[in-house]
Structure 1
Amino acid sequence: MIYFDNSATTQVDDSVLETFMKVSQKMNGNPSSLHQLGDMADGLLQQSRKQVASIMGVQESEIFFTSSGTEGDNWAIKGTAIEKMRYGKHLITTTIEHPAVKESMLQLEQLGFEVTYLPVNAEGVISISDVKAAIRPDTILVSIMAVNNEVGSIQPIEEVGEVLRDYPTIHFHVDAVQAVGKVPLNLSATSRIDLATFSGHKFHGLKGTGFLYIKRGRVIAPLLSGGGQEKGRRSGTENVAGIAAMARALRLLFDQKEQKIAHQKHIRDYLMDELANYSKVHIFSAKQGAPHIVCFALGGIRGEVSVHAFEKEAIFISTTSACSSRSKTSSSTLAAMNVPSKIATGAVRVSLTDTSTLEEAKQFLNSFAKLYENFKDIK
C-alpha cells in the first residue's frame, strides 16, 4: 500500500500511540480534580503545554489546547468577532481558505459582519497591495492560511504582518495546519501574528487534538462555556492523553526538520517533473510552493475516477480537499485561480510526509502511466 493522502491525515507514529496508551492507562484522572490523580494529570497537561510552547518558540501561557484545526479556526475568527464587534464588523480573508475559515466567515456575514475576500493569482497567491487596499477603519481581523491545503501555495505571511504593524488593533490569524514543519513560521514575540491554528493529526498525532496560539495581550471571546478549563478560555475536560501524544508528535516533527523538508521536496519535484512529460496533464502546484503537495489533473477524467483507479492499485490519493471529496464539489481554490471548470473537476492531490519514499513515487508513476494509457483518448 502507498499512502499519498497526508494532507488529509497522517499515520499515527508508533511512539506517539504508545504515549497515548500509557497516559490513558496510568493517568486517568481529571486534570481539574483536586486529588492526587487530578494533580498528576494536570502536571502532565502543563508539561505538554511547556513542550509545545518551547518547540514553537512562544510562552506557555500562549498555548491553548483544542480538538482540531476546525475548532481553532472557528475560535480565532468568531472569538475575535464577538470580542471586537463594538469596534468594527469588517473582516478580511482570501478566496482559497479552508472550509473551517470560509464557513465561519459566511456565518458571521449572516450576523451582520462584512467580509472582504482577497483574490489570488494563477499560482494561488494573494497580492500585498490588495491587502493594503482592503483595510478599513472598522477592520478587526485578517485571516490568511499559510499554506493552501489543495495546491500547496504559500502566502506571504511575513509581508502581510509588516503591513499590519501599522494597524495594531487588527487581529492577524494564520491557519498554519498545513504549514507546521513544512515552511517557516515565526511566532516569536517580534512576529505580527496574533493567532495561529494547528492540528495534531496532520503531523502524526491523533485525530481530535490541536492547539491555538494566542499572542500574549490579545483577547478573543471563548466559544465553549463551562467549567473554565484552559484558563477560562476553552471549557471542556482536556484530552490529556491525546495532548501528551500530540506534544511528542510535534517534537518528532521538528527533529531533523530541515532534512525532512528537503526529502519531501525532492520527491515532490521528481513527481512534478515526470508528470509534466504527459501532454494531457495539468499541474496546478508550483515548485515554490509547499514541499509536500502536488495537485494536478488528467484532462477529461474526473478526479474521483482517478482516485478510485489508483485505489485499485493500492495507492491512496484524494481529490483536492478531504473536506469536499465526498460532496463531490469542484475545487474552490482552482476556481479562484481561474482554472476552467472542465479541467478543475479532474484535479487530484498527492500529499507527502517525512516517511514517504522515492520508491513509492516511482510506483505511483508506473501506475499513472497505465492509467494515462487507458484514458488518453478521452476528450
Structure 2
Amino acid sequence: MAQPPFSFPLPTDPAALDHSDRLQALVRDEIARTGWMPFSRYMECALYAPGLGYYSGRPEKFGAGGDFVTAPEISPLFGRALAHQLAELMALSAPRLIEAGAGSGRLAVDLLGEFERLDALPERYDILELSADLRARQQACIASELPHLAGRVHWLDSLPEQFEGIVIGNEVLDAMPVELLRHSAAGIEQAGIVVEREGTLALDWRPAPDALAEQARSVGFHPGYESEINLVARAWIAEWARRIGRGGLLLIDYGFPQAEYYHRDRRSGTLMCHYRHHAHTDPLWLPGLNDLTAHVDFTAIAEAGFESGLSLAGYTSQAHFLLNCGLLDLLDRDADPLARARDNTAIDRLTSPAEMGELFKAICLLRGMADVRPLGFTRGDRSHTL
C-alpha cells in the first residue's frame, strides 16, 4: 500500500480503501483503452466519477470532520454579508438565484435566512449540484433549519438554457479539472497518467498540443517552470454567458491575477491535495479520498467573460468584499461574551491577510446592467490588476 505524502496515519477503514481501489481500477480500464490519460481527465475522474469520485462518493468532506473548511462553515456571518450583495444584484436583474456547487447546504441556509430578514427572498433558489451525496445533504440541511423556505429551493441537473438573475459560486472554480504543464529541455510538455507494470498509476510527460503549448508560453512558462491552465473554468464561464440574459455571476475563490499566478518565483504551480486537513502535493495518492484543487487565474476568468459578452463589474479581496457588504454591521452587540469572541475569531479568519482575507478574491461579471458598481466592490476594487 502507498505511503502517505505527509506524516499522518494511513486510512484504516476498509470501505474507504476499497473505494479508492475501485476508482483506480476505473482509471486503469480507461487507460487500457486509450493508452494515455490527460491529467485533466484524471482529475475529473478523481473528483467526479459517478459514485467513486471525491465529490460524488465521499460522505464527509466539509468541516472539522472532513478534509477542509470553507467560509460558510466558519461562520453564518459570511453568508449573511454575501446576501446583501446578492439582494442588490437580484433587485437590478431578476429575483432568481442559482448556487453552483452548494457544498453542505450551509451557505444556502444562511443566505435564505438573511434574505428573509431583508424581505428580499428570491422567487426561486436553484442549486446546481453534480453529487447525489451532497444533494441529499443539502436537502436535509435546508429542511431541518428552514422548513418554511424549503419549497423555494430546487435542484438542477444541468445549466438552464436561459436564465435571468444571479449565479453564485463559492469555491467552485478551484475544483475544476486543470491541465498540468511544464517547460522542460524538450519544450512545453503536458502531464498525463499511465499504468506501470505493477499496476500503479504514474505521471507521464508528453509534448503538449500546439494550442496548449502556445497558451503556456503566452502566460509566461519559463524553462524549468511547471504550472496549470484551467480550460474547463474558461469554458464554464462562456457557457453561463451564453445562457444569461440580464444578470451575471458572482464568484468567490482563492487565486491571483495572471501576473501573480504565473510569477517566475511560483515555479511549481498551485496544484494541491487535501486529506483530513493535511495539504500535500501527490494527486495519485489514494484517489477518491483526497480533494484536488488549483488556484484560480482570475485574469483568465475575466477574459472568458469579456470574450463572451459579459462586463467586469468588480474584482477585490474577500476582506474588502465582505467589509463593503456590511460584515461588521451584522455583529450582535448584545450577544454574550462567548458569542462575541466566537464572531470576532470568525471575522478574523474571513478577513485577515494571514488567513482567508487576501488569498480569497471575489469577482463579478454582469450582462444588461451597464455601469453598475456592486456593493461589495465600492472600496478596494482591483480590476486594474487583471
| TM-score for the superposition, normalised by structure 2 | 0.31
Which structure dedicates a bigger proportion of its chain to strand?
Answer: 2
TM-score normalised according to structure 1 size: 0.31
